[in-house]
Chain A
Amino acid sequence: MSIKINPLRKYIRNGNLPHFFCPGCGCGQILNYFLNAVDDMKLNLDEIITIGGVGCTARIPVYLSTDSFHGVHGRTLAWATGIKIYRPDLKVVIFAGDGDLASIGGNHFIHAARRNLDVTVFMVNNFNFAMTGGQVAPTTLIDSITMTTPYGSKENPFNICNLAKCAGATYVSRWSTTKPLQTIKAMKKALEHKGFSLVEILSQCPTNFGRYALKTGDPEKVLNWIEDNSLLMSKTEGKSEEELKNKYILGEYVNIQKPVFEGTTVFKEESN
């Protein structure tokens, strides 16, 4: 009997698996979604630079057969800018967690969006700092119990999609690991988009967020929690602010075209 090999395996760096994500983690799914998108779109991974910072999500590029940057917390978009404006021919894709992008990398994030840097960001939101053991993040809902909020978090969380939209991102959408097909579709749109594109993917972290905030280490229950707290954008009409409170609205937030960033000043013959 021959062993069937996943056709996406060819995109894995040196064929090295298994990955190091916890059982039930969403990061493996997202790696799979990305490779599905790449395969469907027939993208050449040789011309894609993938970037991860530090954290669980940041490890996704480590498994990809691409030129990759990894290992510094929060600086994904600073790296991306250096590559993209020096080599506009390359495609840059970022995998960042909510802590990486919205906390330590928040400044780089809003400025890259403001400039409309031509990169694609997949932000995996698992509502906590997972790799460090489940601390409160800028995306953790108010009153959640985490390792650093034993009495419940008293901070308001960011709505990353609204933040990106306000900052000037030209493609923004939010999906979740409970909706793989829609997520892959959005990832493809983001990869095709010229300009700053962000897909926020709500994802389950049973090991930390699940156990501390939801009192369950069962991935299925965490996925159910995400599903219960999500609402399709098309179904928000007519709903009151109270009904939408603490709901994750899934769908496309922005999809527009604007000139992309090429550097702070660009030389034109006539400008001299």
Chain B
Amino acid sequence: MNSLISKTDKRVKTGVHFMLGNYAVVEGAIAAGCDYFAGYPITPANEISELMSKRLPEVGGVFVQGEDELFSIYSVVSASLAGAKAMTATASAGFNYMQEGIGYACAVEAPCVIVDVQRCRGENFATQADVMQMRWGASGDYEMICLAPSSAQELFDYIILGFNLAEKYRNPVIIMSETTIALMRERVQIPKKEDIKIINRKYTNLSPKDYLPFRAQKNSAPEMAPLGKGYHTLYTLNYHNEDGTIDWDARGYDRLYKRITGKIKENRKDICKTETFYLDDADQVIITYGSEVRPAMDAVQMARNDGIKIGLLKLITIWPVAEEIIKEVAKNVHKVYVAEMNIGKYSKEIERLCIPYCSIETITKNQGIIHTKDEIYNVIKEGNKCQ
């Protein structure tokens, strides 16, 4: 951290911009207080690194291009534990390598943000194929927070939300970006600095003598201690007890991971964010996320013009699953459609929640190309013909 330069006014570029999705990620992160970025070149995430290398030094932050993705994720985690608001960005193939470090971040409860600009076919083709890897990629027990923006504006908004959730729950947060929105230029409105809500991690008030690094209230994150101030915290992947030292107590292990997963799982109400459209009188609904929201919304409007009473549930938080909200929607309709750009993965999550209440049909497309509104509309129309 270059403390000589503190140009905080340079952090928030208030105004209306015509901005690349990947650039919106950078501006959102810097507005959120990001001051450490490590990355490794990979298309289609390169514009994030490129703009970070210019912007971060301007605001007193540190940019580093490492030797591989493992470097990126581990240096992000250690910088975070050293006090940084740290992030990295990659694309699907690079995201694979990061799983190891994400597992470590969960175990030592290091807040950090990872952007995965999903791609497929070994090129920059559009996809949502990593949706399960976001949640289940690393070994061990953990819960993940994952947000799925659907536009350049939402990339800006949700990376700020991502940093806030990471800091609040001391957990990695993954921003599920996609080629579709990352490489698109759109209108992005950056609010005034005072209108951006920022949450920072809690540091302990206790003295090193009284401080236990992993003692926390039920289902919540422990308070952190600054590095290099005599707190002597051990951040180990091994099972550690409340004082941070390696332990062999089987029940203690169980307790630790109940808390680490519980702090996310039991706070779903606070974490999960969704939006609904035309749901008031709907007897059927499309549930979707990410850039698939865009053609799905058009298809819903087309169906509404035909008099079909269909609504839309947009999942902004895809992990943890917004179980209560999805169930509530399913109770009031006779059919749920799930639109996604892969072989049909997240639809299994929706299915387990909807099955007692209504029927479910998945609308998938796995060609590296986003759905057209007609493709989704045709499935809805076909479904309504059969009745």
Contacts and interface: CB of A to CB of B under 8 A. Distances in A.
Interface of A: 13-14, 16, 45-47, 49, 61-62, 65-72, 75, 78-83, 85-87, 89-90, 107-108, 111, 262-267, 272
A86 B82 contact: yes
B347 interface: no
Contacts of A272: 58
Contacts of A47: 228
A87 B83 contact: yes
Contacts of A89: 228
B78 interface: yes
Interface stretch (B237-245, B286-294, B353-361): B237-245
A263 B52 CA distance: 12
Given A68-B235, A71-B104, A82 B227 contact: no
B261 to A, nearest CB: 19
Contact of B232 (A66, A71, A107): A66
A88 B35 CA distance: 14
A267 B58 contact: yes
Nearest to A59: B246
Nearest to A47: B228
Given A71-B238, A81-B71, A46 B79 contact: no
What are the nearest 5 A-B pairs in CB distance? A71-B237, A267-B57, A82-B75, A82-B78, A78-B74
Interface of B: 1-2, 5, 35-36, 38, 53-54, 57-58, 60, 62-68, 70-71, 73-84, 86, 100-101, 104, 107, 227-238, 243, 245-246
A87 B229 CA distance: 12
Contact of A263 (B64, B107, B229, B233): B64
Contact of B234 (A62, A83, A87, A266): A62
12 contacts: A66-B232, A68-B232, A68-B235, A71-B107, A71-B236, A82-B79, A82-B86, A85-B64, A86-B62, A86-B86, A264-B65, A265-B63
B203 to A, nearest CB: 14
A64 to B, nearest CB: 8
A264 B63 contact: yes
Contacts of B232: 13, 45-46, 65-68
B289 to A, nearest CB: 31
B83 A62 contact: no
A81 B104 CA distance: 17
B104 to A, nearest CB: 5
A183 to B, nearest CB: 25
Contacts of B104: 71-72
A70 B67 contact: no
Nearest to A52: B236
B84 A49 contact: no
A16 B246 CA distance: 11
Nearest to B73: A78
B242 to A, nearest CB: 13
A49 B234 CA distance: 10
B67 A46 contact: no
Contacts of A267: 2, 5, 57-58, 60
A217 B171 CA distance: 46
B79 A83 contact: yes
Nearest to B55: A267
Contacts of B68: 107
Given A72-B101, A78-B71, A82-B78, 15 more contacts: A46-B232, A49-B227, A62-B236, A67-B231, A68-B233, A69-B81, A78-B66, A78-B73, A82-B76, A82-B77, A82-B79, A82-B84, A86-B83, A86-B84, A90-B227
A80 B75 CA distance: 7
Nearest to A68: B234
Contacts of A61: 234
Contacts of B229: 46
Contacts of B100: 72
Contacts of A265: 53-54, 57, 63
A266 B63 CA distance: 8
Nearest to B86: A82
A264 B53 contact: yes
Given A78-B70, A263-B64, A90 B75 contact: no
Contacts of A81: 64, 66, 71, 75, 78
Interface centre among A86, A263, A264 (most CB of B within 10 A): A86
B57 A86 contact: no
A27 to B, nearest CB: 15
Given A62-B236, A72-B237, A265-B63, A78 B78 contact: yes
A266 B78 contact: no
Contacts of B38: 82
Given A70-B236, A72-B100, A111-B67, A266 B53 contact: no
A193 to B, nearest CB: 20
A70 B238 contact: yes
Contacts of A65: 232
Contact of B245 (A14, A49, A69, A80): A14
